[in-house]
Amino acid sequence: MEFLEIIFLGTGGSLPTKRRNLPSVVVKRGAELIMFDCGEGTQKQLIYAKIGINKKMKILITHMHGDHVLGLPGLFQSMSLLGRDKKIELYGPKGIIGFIESIERTVKYGRTFELEIFEVGDGEIINDREYKIISANADHGILCLAYSIEEKDKPGRFNPIKAKDLGIPKGPLWKKLQLGNNIKIKGNIIKSNEVLGPKRPGFKIVYATDTKPCESVTSLAKNADVLIHDSTFGEDRKEKADEYGHSTANQAANVAKKSNAKKLVLIHISAIYEDAEDLFNQALKIHKRTLLAYDLMRIKV
Ligand SMILES: [Zn+2]
Ligand SMILES: [Zn+2]
């Protein structure tokens, strides 16, 4: 089972503050990094979080507002100076290719790694062996995508005592069974389910900012283990949230409740809240399992 960790690199919105960097969240899944958004200064947060820069990596951009993309040029430049050689897959809405092309036409930083860029819409965008990534339209006034990472169900736990009892020698045959394959030994077929426990459900993480509460995000977040949701404002600025295409903490909590998300994490906190304790308390009344994200916060799974 792949080790999973969510690291909040930047949890502010629009403007950075002393406490909060611009939006970026990294999901560390085994040896791979999946990054949501890359606000300015993300590369420095990666240093604080002690995350290496030469790992297998996918970057998913929600939309083309500066607070979500301006960290890319600096990150790519530093990675190149440090000699990154592994490909990066970059996904985002229409406009992401033109943005990178215009940077690379005018700023000569000598990229040392392959960059594959995909402009995507809503729907399934990645279907890997172990997980899927699905996007949905958010409601932000401009084209904006929310993303979910949905791990596929994992084989059940391997029972070594049973395997030994069945006369299967430790080694490659065990490995095959652990991966859910049947094997043949001395003419007998042994099914993987004879030595494996029940299948274990995969983990689901949803990242949805910047957005007003909306149906498409609610349905994307259905039964999520962790929903990371826009919570730019509190109830005091509900009109402003609506006007600028953001959510209040209350609204984020209602989305979590409606979608039956197990855990809600409030993110994209406006710079006007020095301490967002009020936002947290408002959400908590609606959804018990709520966390107020702070920079460099880590959730281990
Ligand atoms: Zn934003
Ligand atoms: Zn925005």
Instruction: Tell me how far the alpha carbon of residue 140 lies from the centroid of ligand 2, in angstroms.
Output: 7
Q: Please name the amino acid found at residue 125.
A: I
Q: What is the pLDDT of residue 58?
A: 98
Q: Find out whether 42 and 24 touch, Cβ atoms under 8 Å.
A: yes
Q: What is the pLDDT of residue 275?
A: 87
Q: What is the pLDDT of residue 1?
A: 52
Average pLDDT of 158-186?
90
Dist CA 56 CA 33 (whole Å):
6
Could you give the 3-state DSSP secondary structure of residue 209? coil
Q: Is the pLDDT of residue 154 over 90?
A: no
Q: What is the pLDDT of residue 151?
A: 96
Residues 6+ apart with CB under 8 A from 124: 132, 133, 134
Q: What is the pLDDT of residue 179?
A: 85
**Which ligand is in closest contact with the Cα of 68?**
1
Q: What is the pLDDT of residue 65?
A: 98
Average pLDDT of 27-33?
95
pLDDT class for 74, splitting at 50, 70, 90? very high
Instruction: Tell me how far the alpha carbon of residue 198 lies from the centroid of ligand 2, in angstroms.
Output: 43
Bridge partners of 208, per DSSP, are: 229
Q: Is the pLDDT of residue 70 over 80?
A: yes
Catalytic residues: 67
Percent of the chain residues topping a pLDDT of 90: 91
Residues 6+ apart with CB under 8 A from 262: 223, 224, 225, 226, 289
Angle 40-18-301 from CA coordinates, rounded to 5°? 70
**Which ligand is in closest contact with the Cα of 142?**
2
**Which ligand is in closest contact with the Cα of 40?**
1
pLDDT class for 262, splitting at 50, 70, 90? very high
Average pLDDT of 7-23?
96
* Residue with the larger pLDDT of the pair 285 and 52: 285
Average pLDDT of 241-252?
98
Instruction: Tell me how far the alpha carbon of residue 89 lies from the centroid of ligand 1, in angstroms.
Output: 22
Instruction: Tell me how far the alpha carbon of residue 175 lies from the centroid of ligand 1, in angstroms.
Output: 45
Instruction: Tell me how far the alpha carbon of residue 12 lies from the centroid of ligand 1, in angstroms.
Output: 8
For 193-232, what is each residue's pLDDT tens digit? 999 999 889 999 999 999 999 999 999 999 999 999 999 9
171: left (phi over 0), alpha (psi -120 to 50) or beta: left
Q: Is the pLDDT of residue 2 over 80?
A: no
Q: Which of 129-138, 154-163, 174-183 has the highest average model confidence (pLDDT)?
A: 129-138
For 93-106, what is each residue's pLDDT tens digit? 999 999 999 999 99
Long-range pairs of 260-263 with CB within 8 A, sequence gap ≥ 24: 260/222, 260/223, 261/206, 261/221, 261/223, 261/224, 261/225, 261/226, 261/227, 261/287, 262/223, 262/224, 262/225, 262/226, 262/289, 263/225, 263/226, 263/227, 263/289, 263/290, 263/291, 263/299
